[in-house]
Amino acid sequence: MISFADQVAVVTGAGRGLGRTYALELANRGAKVVVNDVGAATDGSDTGSTPAREVVAQIEAAGGTAIANSESIATPDGGAAVVDAALNNFGRVDVVINNAGILRDKTFAKMSVADFDAVADVHLRGAFCVSRPAFAAMKEQGYGRMVFTTSAAGLFGNFGQANYGAAKMGLVGLSSGIAIEGARYGITSNVIAPLARTRLTDGLLGEAGDSLDPRLVTPMVVYLASRECTLTHEIYAAGAGWYGRAFVGLTPGWLPDSGPASVEDIADHIEHIRREDGYLVPLEAPMLPPQPV
């Protein structure tokens, strides 16, 4: 059995939905859990700490250990306070699952700066503000597991969600940088792209929502957060009992036989450039292009 005994986990947005299932499963496997949730509506308004306290009560009733935290992660002070809650109460932080998020869906033509900033602040800035102090603690102890949350909207795009998609793809880049820098310190960083029935997806999934229980995503996330998982710098998708890997790759491309290419050369060879045969998945930003085939 994969155990989290003697480990401390921080889960943001853990008062409801996916985050709640992660917190409950980690606690069930022995982790001490910081349950962070501001208790906000789906658009980030009307904050309150009740959902976090309810999850803590459920964990404690089952014999586990957890504390509630209602700090907003969208500020450096708030993010640090979440990590400090783990350090001050339990002495360490082994796992961070960056799950918190809100929605402000609008078509791009109608999207305001406030709509963009509110979403980016919680998803991307919030993950940064929690992960930076957590990374420092993990680096000192020589061990850590980080899981970031992207989505299909981030990886592939979705109508009316340019702000959400931008923030979610930003999390992929954040995780990739942490994975590369954390490798020498025993810190892994991976990304989950969940598809589940939650408050954020309520009304969007139709009948398909019946098969998208959030608990079906949980095994993948908890595995990525475990000692047993030494994989890093990867993206996994999960939903409706299905699990897969997503990735950003490079085609072999095209290299002119001689001289720099012209615009017309690009037009003539665009299908060759686009061809996916022999693609590569770089482990870091390549300094040279792949060799053409």
State the Cα–Cα distance between residues 52 and 70, nearest whole angstrom: 7
DSSP readout, the chain? ----TT-EEEEETTTSHHHHHHHHHHHHTT-EEEEE-----TTS-S--SHHHHHHHHHHHHTT-EEEEE---TTSHHHHHHHHHHHHHHHS---EEEE---------GGG--HHHHHHHHIIIIIHHHHHHHHHHHHHHHHT-EEEEEE--HHHHH--TT-HHHHHHHHHHHHHHHHHHHHHGGGTEEEEEEEE---STTTTTTSGGGGGG--GGGTHHHHHHHTSTT----S-EEEEETTEEEEE---B------SSSPPPHHHHHHHHHHHH--TT-B--SS--SSPPPP-
Our CA angle for 74, 235, 224, nearest 5°, is 80
pTM above threshold 0.85: yes
pLDDT of residue 182: 98
Please give the structure tokens belonging to residue 212.
């998208």
State the Cα–Cα distance between residues 165 and 153, nearest whole angstrom: 5
Q: Is 164 a catalytic residue?
A: yes
State the Cα–Cα distance between residues 156 and 277, nearest whole angstrom: 20
Sequence-ordered list of residues with C-beta below 8 angstroms from that of 290, at least 6 positions apart, any chain? 250, 251, 252, 253, 280
pLDDT in tens, 128-166: 999 999 999 999 999 999 999 999 999 999 999 999 999
Q: Using pLDDT thresholds of 50, 70 and 90, give the confidence band for residue 46.
A: low
pLDDT of residue 287: 62
- Does the domain at 8-246 match CATH 3.40.1160.10? Answer given as no
Please give the structure tokens belonging to residue 132.
């930076």
Among 77-81, 198-202, 205-209, which range has the highest average pLDDT?
Answer: 77-81
Q: Per residue in 160-179, is it b (16+ CB within 10 Å) or e — as a string? A: bbbbbbbbbbbbbebbbebb
Output Rg (C-alpha) for the chain, integer angstroms: 20
pLDDT of residue 137: 98
Question: Helices 76-90 & 126-141, crossing angle to 10 degrees?
Answer: 40
Strands 95-98 and 8-12: parallel
Question: Is the confidence at residue 210, as pLDDT, over 80?
Answer: no
* φ and ψ of 67, to 5 deg: -130, 150
Sequence-ordered list of residues with C-beta below 8 angstroms from that of 17, at least 6 positions apart, any chain? 196, 198, 199, 200, 214
Percent of the chain with pLDDT over 90: 85
pLDDT of residue 41: 63
Please give the structure tokens belonging to residue 150.
């992207």
Question: Is the confidence at residue 196, as pLDDT, over 60?
Answer: yes
State the Cα–Cα distance between residues 194 and 176, nearest whole angstrom: 18
pLDDT in tens, 98-115: 999 999 999 999 999 999
Please give the structure tokens belonging to residue 253.
């491309």
Give the range among 43-52, 94-103, 228-237 with minimum mean pLDDT: 43-52
Task: List the domain boundaries for the chain.
Answer: 8-246, 249-293
Of the candidates 164, 185, 223, 236, the residue annotated as catalytic is 164
pLDDT in tens, 6-38: 999 999 999 999 999 999 999 999 999 999 999
